[in-house]
Amino acid sequence: MKIAVDQIDPDAVRVVKQLRRFDHAAYLVGGCVRDLLLGLKPKDFDVVTSATPNEIKRIFHNSRIIGRRFRLAHIFYGPKTIETATFRANPRELEDDDSESPEAESGDLLIRRDNVFGTPEDDARRRDFTINGLFYDVETGQVIDHVNGMADLEARLVRTIGDPDIRFREDPIRILRAVKFAARCNLGIEPETYRRMMEHRGEIAKSAQARVSEEFYRLLRGGAARRSMELLVETELLELLTPEIARGLKGEPADAEAALRRTRLWGYLAALDRSTARHPVPPSNALLLAALLLPPLRDELDPDSNGVGDIGQVVAQAIAPALERLRPSRRDSEVARQILLSLRYLLPSRNPRRRRPRNLSGRDFADDARRLAEIVADTESVDPALAGQPILTEGTSAGDPAGADGGGDEESMAPELESLLDGRRGRRGRGPYRGGERDAGASGGAGASGNGGNGGNGGSRGPLPDRSQDRRPPLASAAPRLPPLSTDLTSLATAVRSLITPELRPAFLGLGNFGGPWHRSE
* Alpha helices, DSSP H, located in 462-519: 475-478, 489-499
Over residues 240-269, the mean pLDDT reads 86
Question: Is pLDDT above 70 for 331?
Answer: yes
Write the burial class of residue 15 (CB in 10 Å: 0-12 exposed, 13-18 middle, 19+ buried): buried
Map 450-471 to HEC letters: HHHHHHHHCHHHCCCCCCCCCC
Mean pLDDT over 138-167 rounds to: 95
Mean pLDDT of 112-125: 81
Domain boundaries, the chain: 1-155, 276-423+492-522
Q: Report, as residue numbers or ranges, the catalytic residues.
A: 44, 46, 128
| pLDDT at 428 exceeding the cut of 50 | no
Per-residue pLDDT, averaged over 413-417, amounts to 56
Q: Which CATH class is domain 1-155?
A: alpha beta
- Segment 19-35, tens digit of pLDDT: 999 999 999 999 999 99
Q: Output the pLDDT for position 145.
A: 96
- Cα distance between residue 103 and residue 101, in whole Å: 5
Q: What is the pLDDT of residue 326?
A: 87
Asked whether the beta carbons of 417 and 343 are under 8 A apart, the reply is no
Q: Which of 305-314, 451-460, 465-474 has the highest mean pLDDT?
A: 305-314
What is the DSSP annotation of 223-285? S-HHHHHHHHHHTT-HHHH-HHHHHHHT--TT-HHHHHHHHHHHHHHHHHHHHHHH-SSPPPH
Per-residue pLDDT of 69-117, as tens digits, reads 778 999 999 999 999 999 998 766 555 454 454 444 445 555 555 568 8
**What pLDDT is stored for residue 304 in this prediction?**
84
Identify which of 291, 270, 256 has the alpha carbon closest to the alpha carbon of residue 385.
Answer: 256
User: Span 416-437, mean pLDDT?
Assistant: 47
